[in-house]
Structure 1
Amino acid sequence: MRVSKEKAAENRDRILKTASRLMRERGISGVGVDALTEAAGMTHGSLYSQFGSKERLVEEAIADAIVAKGQELREGSTLGDYVSEYLSAAHRDQPGSGCPFAALCCEIPRQSRGLRERFTAGVRGMAGWLSDRMGSGIRQRQRDEEALATLASLVGALVLARAVNDPKLSDDILRSTRKKLER
């Protein structure tokens, strides 16, 4: 039975959203094709007909997550608002809907060149967004450097806060990094 173009696009989007959520929750290596097809309510055949391979699905799912998180950034958002939201307990506790950089950065060096290129483009885009919100009284190069340091602080703090098994320490990591970035 043939599937309409609209239904195929809908299926593709469902697979991408499911894959990006599961990969952010469990890691890339922690999600097999069986788990992906089951969670998306699809068959192996539909997954492979849409993407050809798990590697290609991973690339597209992570790229989709980066784009989706980027679209959530409002033009009117201030840097302070973003930092507060990013370094929150809610963001820490919901990796499946959170930042793909923090959820996946430790796995990316062992992934395909295509995925690393997409991830790198996403990091550059996020750094650019942050740079645009840095003080207008400083030179562009200085703003760009500050944006990279801010991005590294945000991602690093969230990764550490998720990694420790002490809830108070986790909260302290988020709070102290928030305070440092607010200065």
Structure 2
Amino acid sequence: MKISKEKSEANRAALVETASRLFREKGIDGVGVAEISKSAGLTHGALYAHFPSKEALAAEALAWSLEQGNAKLYTGTIDGEPDLERFLSDYLAVDSLDNYAESCAMAASASEIGRQDVAISAKFTEGYMVLVRAFERRVAANNPDVDALATAMGIVAAMVGALSVARATSKARPEVSAQVLRGVRLMIDAALNKPV
């Protein structure tokens, strides 16, 4: 039975969104296509009708989740620029540490992306650079004497790393986890603001 174009698009979207959530929760290597298909309410064959491989699905799911995350950057703007303080407060919040499925795909997957194929690495890099460019503009505006691109790359890497380290320490030493988030936030605030 042939399905409509609309139903096919809905099935594809369900696969991408489900894969995105599961990959953030369990890792790309921690979930199989059968689980993704079942969680999306589809068959194994339906997945392969849309994607030639798990890697192709992973690349699209990562791109989708990074787009969703980067959209949060622009939910509140100040003079057309992202409200970086609000974004950082949400990103580096202790109460969001256990919410892998809804939080940053970069922090959830950074350690395993290097073991994936070039298409997945490219999607990760694109999402990373969206964040870098937002922070670069702010650094350049406030600190014209510094290398704004290098500083912004460090800021975004520190954010992603801080979230990963805070998650890794939160069960054994929640106070260390909270200090990591606070310390990185202080460092980022210093890099973003005009020197006095």
The TM tier, using the shorter chain, reads over 0.9
Q: Secondary structure at the match of 1:93?
A: coil
Number of positions where the alignment pairs a residue of Structure 1 with one of Structure 2: 183
Q: Corresponding residue for 2:183?
A: 176
Distance 2:42 2:114 in 1: 29
Q: Secondary structure at the match of 2:114?
A: helix
Q: Corresponding residue for 2:194?
A: none
Further displaced range: 105-114 or 65-74: 65-74
The structural deviation recorded for 1:171 is 1.6
The structural deviation recorded for 1:139 is 3.4
Aligned amino acid, residue 142 of structure 1 = D
Q: Decide whether the 8 Å contact of 1:78 with 1:133 is kept in 2.
A: no
Q: Corresponding residue for 2:44?
A: 44
1:154 is aligned to 2:159: yes
Distance 1:177 1:41 in 2: 40
* RMSD over equivalenced CA pairs, Å: 1.6
Counterpart mapping for 1:116-155 below 5 A:
116-139=121-144, 142-155=147-160
Q: Which has the higher contact order (CA 8 A, sep 6+)?
A: 1
Q: Corresponding residue for 1:71?
A: 71
The structural deviation recorded for 1:143 is 1.7
Indicate how the Cα distance of structure 1 residues 140 and 116 shifts in structure 2: closer, same or farther if over 3 A, else same.
farther
Q: Secondary structure at the match of 2:177?
A: helix
Regions of 4+ moved over 4 Å: none
Q: Corresponding residue for 1:89?
A: 94
Q: Decide whether the 8 Å contact of 1:79 with 1:134 is kept in 2.
A: no
Show structure 2 runs of 5+ residues with no match: 191-196
Distance 2:113 2:145 in 1: 29
The structural deviation recorded for 1:141 is 6.6
Aligned amino acid, residue 183 of structure 2 = S
The structural deviation recorded for 1:179 is 2.3
Q: Corresponding residue for 2:105?
A: 100
Q: Secondary structure at the match of 1:28?
A: coil
Q: Corresponding residue for 1:55?
A: 55
Please give the per-residue CA displacement for 1:94-142, whole angstroms capped at 9, x wherever unaligned.
1111111111010011101111112112211210122123251433972
Give me the identity figure in percent: 36
Aligned amino acid, residue 4 of structure 1 = S
Q: Decide whether the 8 Å contact of 2:140 with 2:146 is kept in 1.
A: no
Distance 1:71 1:31 in 2: 26
Q: Secondary structure at the match of 2:182?
A: helix
Q: Decide whether the 8 Å contact of 1:33 with 1:54 is kept in 2.
A: yes
